[in-house]
Amino acid sequence: DIQMTQSPSSLSASVGDRVTITCRASQDINDNVAWFQQKPGKAPKSLIYGASSLHDGVPSKFSGSGFGTDFTLTITSLQPEDFATYYCQQYNRRPLTFGGGTTVDI
Amino acid sequence: QVQLVESGGGVVQPGRSLRLSCAASGFTFSGYAMHWVRQAPGKGLEWLTFISYDGSDKYYTDSVTGRFTVSRDNSKNTLYLQMNSLGPDDTAVYFCAREFYGDFSWGQGTLVTVSS
């Protein structure tokens, strides 16, 4: 199975900050990475697919990059509604696998 | 707009079975692959199973192979997950998700609690 190593596991930030979350795959997965946001007690929300394509309706403050094994999610101008847990996922090969999550809090 | 509504969760005794449903609306259900993903309390996301748009291709993660069965009824716009031999480690919120070339859309989830 492909392992997705996400870092950091948590980070503290302030409103207006720019934050970057990274995900490293245990093998080459091309650009077959998605990013999700999840708030407590809620379903995941899709942000990014294909490493850098925005899911419909997601604001451009979210961006993704990377190819092969190293990927990043960047959030600019952090707002209160952005404080949540973020997950990466590879869908290059089954079984699909998720990173361990990054909790962004104040 | 895309809507996925899971149902069928609840409290079940160890060793028993449960069937989850995911009702789809707002899109052409028969044109999309579907997945089930779960999240144990306080834990991360765990992918469980995939089914192709027409049901001809299915794949499962090791921990549920032989116990869980995914199916779909495109005439009813509904995805199913039959879960047998449930154990405490299966306690989780179960989400269905639509996939289109890696772009996922999620349901709100249904809670399954395995307890005596």
Radius of gyration for chain A, computed over Cα atoms and rounded to the nearest angstrom: 13
Q: Is the peptide bond before B41 cis (omega within 30 degrees of 0)?
A: no
Q: What are the residues whose beta carbons fall under 8 Å from the beta carbon of B28, sequence distance 6 or more?
A: none
Chain A with chain B: Cβ pairs closer than 8 A: 60
Does the pLDDT value for residue A16 go beyond 90?
yes
Beta bridge partners of A34: A89
Q: Is the peptide bond before A95 cis (omega within 30 degrees of 0)?
A: yes
pLDDT confidence bin for B71, thresholds 50/70/90? very high
Cβ–Cβ gap B102/A94 under 8 Å: no
The C-alpha of B48 sits at a distance from chain A's nearest C-alpha, in angstroms, of 8
Which residue's entry shows tokens 């989830």? B109
Q: How far is CA B27 from CA A61, A81, B30, B87, B105, in A?
A: 28, 28, 9, 35, 11
**Residue A40 DSSP one-character state:** T
Mean pLDDT for chain B?
Answer: 97
* Residues A90 and A25: beta-carbon distance below 8 Å: yes
Q: For residue range B11-34, what is the model confidence (pLDDT) as tens digits?
A: 999 999 999 999 999 999 999 999
- Return the closest-CA partner of residue B75 out of B36, B24, B110: B24
Residues of B near A (CB-CB distance < 8 A)? 35, 37, 44-47, 50, 59-62, 95, 99, 101-109
Q: For residue range A70-83, what is the model confidence (pLDDT) as tens digits?
A: 999 999 999 999 99
- Which residues of chain A have a CB within 8 Å of the CB of B37? 44
pLDDT confidence bin for A106, thresholds 50/70/90? confident
The C-alpha of B39 sits at a distance from chain A's nearest C-alpha, in angstroms, of 10
